[in-house]
């Protein structure tokens, strides 16, 4: 086994890891390795919103531009219903180079289209949420060494099985920046903006998690267990974060159904996408809140029932982003969309 933190990012710790002494993970997991990444990566969420279900084709002005010069290394599509009952369809794109992203925005014509006042009227809303962490400010973990997701598509390879997973605090231990920094967030109330074009300011050490599930390879008893027991408990936890998460520091949560990027057909994949004021609040929810305790307990029962031989694939990516590396803008959206007006 090896550390989730690549050797070139390892430093003497000012903040000790939470890894138990002589720890042996209960099951294997892997981290994405890059070649390495220099500077900032880009995780960009382009969304369209409507009172009725919005097909992926409604995002064609974005998705047709996600090719050609300076295109992202990978993009996904997904949809969800938010707490206000609005339907949101999103393209999630990843660039390994922020300069390439900026060239794409200008050269593809996206900026010109986005700035057009026509985006501020009509039945649809539009939003863009972009975070640009450096390599020391995000971490990944995968339950399979054969399939990657999210920013893992930009990786050159996966690590050997890693030590830092399967215990409380392991996400922080996988973040290279946490060797030296506490990563405290900003708790200053944000003003509630108004208007058809709303820009939301960044906040210190905003924490983003994308945590996904792929049950496409499951069969028989495992599939029955996942769909009948694990998935309903997961959905309950995501609904809590979506509707009531503000009380525990979750600024926004979307439980997203992954779509085929070509046809828009739903796939047997989901992921939770959530913003927390800071990593500590994500950790607190994961460790102590009944909704996540139920998710974790249900999963452990699931893997033990199957003797740890499972085809379900899980992953997540967590990023802790400085205020200057965030960009959130909402056009013609309802006033509770995304991070608008979040305390």
* pLDDT tens-digit map of 282-320: 999 999 999 999 998 998 899 899 988 899 999 999 999
Where are the domains positioned within the chain?
A: 135-183+202-323
| Known active-site residue 316 | yes
Joined tokens for residue 179: 């060797």
CB 338 within 8 A of CB 328: yes
Q: What is the pLDDT of residue 343?
A: 58
Distance CA 290, CA 302 (A): 18
pLDDT of residue 244: 96
What was the pLDDT predicted at 267?
Answer: 98
Q: What is the pTM of this model?
A: 0.95
Query: What's the CA gap between 60 and 50, in Å, rounded?
Result: 15
Q: Which residue numbers in the chain have pLDDT < 50?
A: none
Q: Is 141 helix (H, G, I), strand (E, B) or coil?
A: strand
User: What is the model's pLDDT at position 186?
Assistant: 85
List the CATH code of the domain at 135-183+202-323: 3.30.70.100
Given the residues 224, 289, 316, 334, select the one marked as catalytic: 316
How far is the C-alpha of 110 from the C-alpha of 289, rounded, in Å? Answer: 41
Give yes or no for a contact between 136 and 177, defined as CB atoms under 8 angstroms apart. Answer: yes
pLDDT for the residue 341: 80
**The pLDDT value given to residue 192:** 67
3-state helix vs strand vs coil in the chain, percent to 5: 30, 30, 40
Looking at residue 342, its pLDDT comes to: 77
- DSSP letters, 15-77, are S---PPTT---SS--B-EE-S---SB-EEEEEEEEESS---GGGGHHHHTTSSSTT--SEEEE
């Amino acid at each position: 086994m090896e550390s989730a933190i690549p050797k070139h990012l390892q430093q003497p710790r000012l903040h000790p890891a939470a890894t138990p002494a002589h720890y042996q993970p209960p099951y294997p997991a892997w981290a994405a390795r890059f070649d390495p990444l220099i500077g900032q990566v880009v995780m960009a969420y382009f969304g369209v919103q409507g009172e009725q279900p919005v097909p992926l084709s409604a995002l064609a002005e974005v998705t047709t531009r996600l090719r050609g010069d300076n295109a992202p290394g990978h993009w996904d599509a997904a949809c969800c219903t938010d707490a206000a009952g609005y339907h949101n369809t999103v393209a999630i794109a990843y660039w390994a180079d922020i300069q390439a992203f900026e060239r794409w925005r200008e050269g593809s014509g996206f900026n010109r289209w986005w700035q057009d006042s026509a985006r501020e009227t009509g039945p649809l809303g539009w939003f863009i949420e972009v975070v640009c962490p450096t390599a020391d400010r995000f971490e990944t973990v995968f339950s399979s060494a054969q399939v990657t997701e999210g920013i893992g598509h930009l990786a050159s390879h996966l690590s050997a099985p890693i030590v830092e997973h399967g215990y409380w605090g392991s996400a922080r231990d996988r973040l290279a920046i946490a060797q030296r920094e506490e990563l405290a967030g900003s708790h200053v109330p944000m003003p509630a903006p108004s208007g058809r074009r709303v820009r939301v300011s960044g906040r210190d050490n905003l924490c983003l998690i994308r945590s996904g599930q792929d049950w496409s390879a499951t069969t028989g008893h495992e599939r029955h267990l996942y769909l009948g027991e694990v998935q309903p408990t997961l959905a309950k936890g995501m609904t809590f974060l979506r509707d009531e998460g503000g009380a525990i520091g979750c600024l926004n949560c979307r439980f997203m159904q992954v779509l085929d990027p070509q046809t828009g057909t739903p796939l047997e994949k989901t992921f939770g996408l959530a913003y927390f004021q800071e990593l500590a609040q994500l950790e607190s929810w994961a460790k102590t809140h009944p909704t996540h305790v139920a998710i974790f307990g249900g999963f452990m029962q699931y893997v033990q029932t199957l003797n740890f031989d499972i085809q379900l694939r899980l992953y997540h990516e967590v990023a802790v982003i400085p205020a200057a590396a965030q960009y959130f803008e909402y056009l013609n959206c309802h006033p509770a969309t995304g991070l608008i007006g979040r305390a």
